[in-house]
Structure 1
């Protein structure tokens, strides 16, 4: 009983951490969006983010309440619905800065590729859970085909950042599913082949059909940070300047914080981690990363204690969904990762990403809740068996 209560308190603490990150995002976005907010409505982005937070908490509540094991029955519908939305984006999507990733619904823009990540976690977990495991290579091939269709549709938008998140989810779930290391070597081998292809492109102009010119520019800036400092390399260099301006304790939230945020494009979305560093410094960054580490550690604990294989796969996919954007966002603004345009979980401005991440955490809470219930039932059964043992001897 004490273990049950301890786990319940831990779940509530995790919810508080998530709510804390959401509230923290309002503070950061309020300062980071000042340069781009409409003059007549300086709180435009903060107000919309607050609305999305409420929606996210509602979704979190729903995904926590519904037994996750029922999702196996709905997995095919969830998968094909997400694929259908990705097709709709390509046909009638709203284009922003050359990328066709959004569907306009009234005054609201939604990004189906974000929702597709959670849909893929549910469907891939169901797919792997039902595999007999007799033919490892065939099982791996069918899993990659399952992921391949939404991946190609996402790349077509183009949305390389979300595609990389899908890769991280796939690798994490396959590893937790017990895929042999000899087969897992396919992924680093594929990465090495892609790196070699990129090298050949810059050395001998070998075409890269899946990458768009602006994505190639991002790779060039990653390899040569000082190239084109006033054009394609401006964002990366300015993000480093912004991070350095925060120092140890940050510029603070006083009436006259540093003006550097006004020179960093997308400070409230893709480069929000740089805004955190400027406002709160090294100490603030350490605290934020510490919160993510605790949250992800709890997610791994939930995965390893899941009552069934489906719960294990579901939880591990959610951990990958949350972990990779944190690594990419932190690495991107410091120059150790190329720019990929991935929102930082619960902090970056954006409704689709926030609701998706909230749904993912709800799934983790769901698995944790069923795990405790399963443990409690097993404990009751063991007590009943021990109680009936003396009578059986008589």
Structure 2
């Protein structure tokens, strides 16, 4: 009997590593991964090893999730400053020594080619959560100015690459930390009102602003074209408006029940550009219809709500801020991707979490989920 107790089986020895994992969060992620695998198998059937690589990326993200989940939140705080500093230094390195692909300078070779902006999706909210934890109990208005400065540095560097999609994600993650830290409403309302007025003016005068030869001062030409294309994609149906028009056609042609698995004509006749990456939601919608979209949206809503519950129940300010920021990263990913594919938002390079193909994004998502699991575990372990 003693020998049996002294040498328990491997599964029993590994069991404590999973203790405290949030089962509801794991179920939501598994449902999204299942939908992603189905969509990738169909949309990527003629893309060589896309389906196999997508499954490998999911396994890699799962391994990263498991490892990060073993790190207590108080240990994560120790990595905040060095990871942020390294990320910003790498972004500066991209400015001077970066690799240019498709007109954008976003990568750098440090022994292997990496995209430093992906690091800042996690490093920025981590740094801001560390800052507000450090200032807890004696927070001043100046602390929010410092936080905005810490956020502005990576966002401006990423926008300069240019990479509007990633800069939006980093800005959203950072702003969520600042908001949850108690940013006064008097500082929130004025810029929101200015933004709404600005959008209204662009819509109202879009026919004049989008004429050939008119240049906007604050935006690059390609960014201006994306906004003008959003206002009227038919102005260049075979060029800049092609993505949005084909995405809308695919979504609409799916109807309520969809055309069926592997039966999407827009997808398999290759009318949908980037159908395995940014526009995979259009391919998914065509084959699974409104009901399939409802399932996907409900899975994302459940994931986001569960993340917010974990944030509310977190034991420390650092954990609450970080969990809230990571959760809103998932919301921003899903909202922006679905919005741009359906023609409600400008086209930017934002993948659909767990569904779109992409190794770097999947690793980032795995790290974010690992942080949520770590915070959920710390709460449960404190209770026991």
Q: Do both share a fold (TM > 0.5)? A: yes
Give the distance between the partners of 1:351 and 1:187, measured in 2 at CA.
Answer: 35
Deviations 1:350-394 (A, max 9, x none): 011111011101111111111112223xxxxxxxxxxxxxxxxxx
Q: Structure 2-normalised TM-score?
A: 0.86
- Aligned partner of 2:24 in structure 1 is 13
- Aligned partner of 1:382 in structure 2 is none
State whether residues 115 and 352 of structure 1, in contact with CA within 8 Å, keep that contact through their aligned partners in structure 2.
Answer: no
Give the distance between the partners of 1:89 and 1:176, measured in 2 at CA.
Answer: 31
Q: 1:93 aligns with which of 98, 111, 134?
A: 98
**Which residues in structure 2 correspond to 1:355-394 (within 5 Å)?**
355-376=363-384
Give the distance between the partners of 1:114 and 1:28, measured in 2 at CA.
Answer: 24
- Aligned partner of 1:30 in structure 2 is 41
Closer, same or farther: CA 339–19 of 1 in aligned 2, 3 Å: same
Give the distance between the partners of 1:195 and 1:136, measured in 2 at CA.
Answer: 32
**Which residues in structure 2 correspond to 1:74-85 (within 5 Å)?**
74-85=79-90
Q: CA deviation at 1:133?
A: 6.3
**Which residues in structure 2 correspond to 1:167-206 (within 5 Å)?**
167-189=171-193, 191-192=195-196, 195=199, 202=209, 205=214
SS, match of residue 150 in structure 1: helix
SS, match of residue 233 in structure 2: coil
SS, match of residue 348 in structure 2: coil
- Aligned partner of 2:305 in structure 1 is 297
SS, match of residue 88 in structure 2: helix
- Aligned partner of 1:387 in structure 2 is none
Give the distance between the partners of 1:242 and 1:203, measured in 2 at CA.
Answer: 27
Query: What runs of 5+ residues in structure 1 fail to find an aligned partner?
Result: 1-7, 377-394
**Which residues in structure 2 correspond to 1:299-378 (within 5 Å)?**
299-376=307-384
Q: Confirm or deny that 1:129 pairs with 2:140.
A: no
Deviations 1:278-311 (A, max 9, x none): 1211111110111111111000000111101011
Give the distance between the partners of 2:276 and 2:114, measured in 1 at CA.
Answer: 17
Give the distance between the partners of 1:345 and 1:16, measured in 2 at CA.
Answer: 15
Q: CA deviation at 1:113?
A: 1.4
Closer, same or farther: CA 71–160 of 1 in aligned 2, 3 Å: same
Query: What runs of 5+ residues in structure 2 fail to find an aligned partner?
Result: 1-18
Number of residue pairs aligned between Structure 1 and Structure 2:
361
Give the distance between the partners of 2:110 and 2:276, measured in 1 at CA.
Answer: 23
Q: Confirm or deny that 1:143 pairs with 2:150.
A: no
